[in-house]
Amino acid sequence: MPNPLEIKLVVFDWAGTTIDFGCMAPSGAFVAAFAVRGVAVTNAEARGPMGLHKNDHIRAMLRTASVQAKWHGAVGRDWTEDDVNDLYRDVTPRQVEAAAKYSDLIPDVVSTVTELRRRGIKIGATTGYFREAADVVLSSREAPGVRAGLQHLRPTTCPQAARRRG
């Protein structure tokens, strides 16, 4: 009978887990996009809604009392959906640029992946990055022993991948 506690698959999220210690790429892009409009948000405020689609992330930031007050103080009015769309258009290229800048592997990722593979454990990766940013990270992550055989999974497909592994 198979051991129900046997690990067959490990899925790593990219930002903050295998690359970009501190999630600087995503949060930095939001901080910079708001700063252009005179709104000084903190990294903590930018990280708060991490994991949401970027438009939803921006809305969630703007709905917090602190960011709402900063926005009103800098812009002189409440935010609108047009502001959300403008911020999104600004954040997107900033995230692609930051993804390349912060795509170095976090220490011990290679040795961890090597050990998991030695034990016969499959490795998957997932990310909240949109396709263009994910492609930049994939092309720059040429670390030996990590990329080969890596299964890229969408967050919504992780449960199905785990079930396929038993």
CA distance linking residue 146 with residue 138, whole number of Å = 11
Pick from 119, 96, 78, 130: nearest CA to 28: 96
Is 82 considered catalytic here?
no
Is 101 considered catalytic here?
no
Of the candidates 20, 54, 70, 90, the residue annotated as catalytic is 54
Of the candidates 13, 83, 86, 101, the residue annotated as catalytic is 13
Q: How wide is the angle at C-alpha 134 spanned by C-alphas 82 and 71, nearest 5°?
A: 30
The amino acid at 12: F
CA distance linking residue 73 with residue 124, whole number of Å = 44
Q: Can you say whether the dihedral through the CA atoms of 158, 123, 54, 47 is positive or negative?
A: positive
CB-based contact 45:67 (threshold 8 Å): yes
Task: State the catalytic residues.
Answer: 13, 54
